[in-house]
Amino acid sequence: MMNKFSRSALLCLVLPLASVVLAESPESWYADGEAAIAKALALKPNQTKAKNIILFVGDGMGISTVTATRIYDGQSRGSSGEENSLAWDALPYTALSKTYNTNLQTPDSAGTMSAMMTGIKTGHGLISVNQKVLLGQCASSKGNQVETFLEQAAQRGMATGIVSTARITHATPAATYAHAADRDWENDADLTEEARKNGCKDIARQLVEFSVGEGLDVILGGGRRNFLPTSEQDPEHPEVTGKRTDGRNLIDEWRAKTQGEFVWNGAQLAVLEKANNRAKLLGLFSPSHMAYELDRPLERYSEPSLAEMTQIAINRLKRNKKGYFLMVEGGRIDHAHHAGNAARALGDGKALSDAVAKALALVDLKDTLVIVTADHSHVFTMGGYPARGNPILGLVHGPDQNGVRATMPTLAADGKPYTTLGYINGPGYAEQASLAAREIAEPNPGRHIHQKVDVQKKGFFQESLVPLSSETHGGEDVAIYAGGPWAHLFHSTHEQNYIYHVMRYAAGFNSAANRK
């Protein structure tokens, strides 16, 4: 039975929030519902062959992140936020993806992206090899590599590209082109003696030596350090050197092999695009991961946005008359969540939406299958009873008796306010104690938040229940959004490896799928 307090709180939610929703009425809600039905009835499945396929992956973008990002994006545009739509919300088909690894209830990015790229599930930490492989044991991977969708596209003469705000050798992009018994083997210094002895190659080397079909056409992301030797300084940060101990400069090797263009900052990329160069393109814009979107304007040298990189990749890849496959990752949503930092996670979620919007403006869904999904979720929560339009990064302010946002924040049972967004575990437990110690004079046991803390600043770490050095992934299903040829095959709750099979069928790679 609902207690008196919770029942009163819920009743407040149905009061008219006139200050926020002046354009809404009971009649308009009904009319919107009827219009949505008419739109659904007019929807016809597209059963033509997909010439092009774009897979967007929001790393760590669970459904709570999608909802919070939608509100964050809307509020950045001056609306209350809840009624806003992100770019992928316009896609007509939606399904759910079960994300577990073969040996983990709550998965990691290597196993989940490998499932999407190879059509089979596998163990955590493994890059496009099957579940027979033992983590970190090179010998066990021999004969157990699994061909990826990108490799199959390249074999058929399609153009291929990968874009990420993470290191281009990180788990998600790596699973498109590499095969490894350990996701951490990003450069040769990371290899174990057993791996060296048994001839396993590091992931950066596999990228540069990728020779399937015509090779990768566009590579844009972070991670320069994995391609440079320890004897060489980074071009942007002279105090930083490469990680490679084999003395090889893989960037120079890639340029010599492909006769392609290499850029390491946004200004160089813009000049190259203006010149309409048709060569293969490698852009590595940071020694490690690229900047969070909220920090990108502060970089010493310009970094392109995810939307800009997506646009450049599509414009280059579409020159191939046989079509293309492009994977775009919003990689740093995940990293911000691991830090317990919702502002930067939502900022990068918004950047992914901008990239999807850019892609949808450039392609025709008549011949291009667009899929937007996540590899896994996070233990990221959105709760309390904040009033409609309450700042998504702010303290909870419930509606007052008139149905409008109350002036004072809602207090928890300990007499302290709390935020709409939080984490079940992570560094927020300790970080709040440190933050509070700097802002109030006396020690304060229990939760360390008070009304003077600026919870909306980008560097605020939300509170967490269980103290961990890094917040963890979540194990629940994530969403799949799709539009274009055969997008209607996403229709239910699917195993994550099903995404590969839809892409393969839509592209006509199945021998039985000889469509026009």
pLDDT tens profile 44-62: 999 999 999 999 999 999 9
Which pLDDT does position 514 carry in this prediction?
33
Tokens representing residue 201 in the block:
């190659």
The Cα 414–Cα 292 span in angstroms is 34
Using the CB atoms, write b or e for 55-76: b if 16+ within 10 Å: bbbbbbbbbbbbebbbbbbbbe
* Banded pLDDT at 22 (limits 50, 70, 90): low
- Identify whether the C-beta of residue 133 lies closer than 8 Å to the C-beta of residue 184: no
Looking at the structure, tell me whether residues 451 and 303 fall in a common domain: no
pLDDT of 299 higher than 80: yes
Q: Do 349 and 243 share a structural domain?
A: yes
Together in a domain, 415 and 467: yes
Q: For the segment 261-284, what is each residue's pLDDT rounded down to a tens digit?
A: 999 999 999 999 888 778 999 999
Number of domains in the chain: 2
In this structure, the answer to whether residues 171 and 188 fall within a common structural domain is yes
**Residue range 220-242: average pLDDT?**
97
Is residue 146 within 8 Å of residue 205, measured between CB atoms?
no
CB of 495 closer than 8 Å to CB of 112: no
Examine the domain organization and report whether 61 and 183 are in the same domain.
yes
What secondary structure does DSSP assign to 121-164, as a single string? ---TT-BSB-TTSPTT-GGGGTT-B---HHHHHHHTT-EEEEEE
- Name the pLDDT band for 15 (thresholds 50, 70, 90): very low
Helix (H) or strand (E) segment spanning residue 97: strand 93-98
Q: What is the CA radius of gyration of the chain?
A: 24
Q: How much of the chain exceeds pLDDT 90, in percent?
A: 85
Has 109 been annotated as catalytic? yes
Which residues are bridge partners to 328 per DSSP?
56, 163
Q: How many CB atoms lie within 10 A of CB 300?
A: 8
Tens of pLDDT, residues 238-266: 999 999 999 999 999 999 999 999 999 99
- Relative to beta strand 368-373, strand 281-284 is unpaired
pLDDT of residue 2 exceeding 50, the answer is: no
Q: Kind of pairing, strands 281-284 and 380-382? A: unpaired
Q: Looking at the structure, do residues 344 and 430 belong to the same domain, yes or no?
A: no
In a domain, 21, yes or no: no
What integer pLDDT is reported at residue 511 of this predicted model? 52
Q: For 391-421, what is each residue's pLDDT tens digit? A: 999 999 999 998 899 999 999 998 999 999 9
Options 109, 114, 305, 464, the catalytic residue: 109
Residue 446 pLDDT: 58
429 with 354, same domain: the answer is no
Whether 226 and 342 map to the same domain: the answer is: yes
Q: Are 179 and 145 a contacting pair, CB within 8 Å?
A: yes
CA 153 to CA 498: how far, in whole Å? 17
Residue 246's domain comprises 52-379+472-506
State the average pLDDT over residues 76-96: 97
Mean pLDDT value of segment 321-330 = 98
**In a shared domain, residues 240 and 364:** yes
Q: What is the pLDDT of residue 27?
A: 94
| Amino acid letter for position 403 | G
Weakest-pLDDT range from 109-113, 424-428, 471-475, 509-513? 509-513
385 in a structural domain: no
25 belongs to a structural domain: no
pLDDT at 420: 98
| pLDDT (average), residues 178-202 | 98
Sign of CA dihedral 395, 400, 405, 407: negative
By C-alpha distance, which of 369, 352, 320, 322 is closest to 501?
369
Residue 378 phi/psi, 5-degree rounding, is -140, 165
> How many Cα atoms sit within 13 Å of 344 on the Cβ side?
23
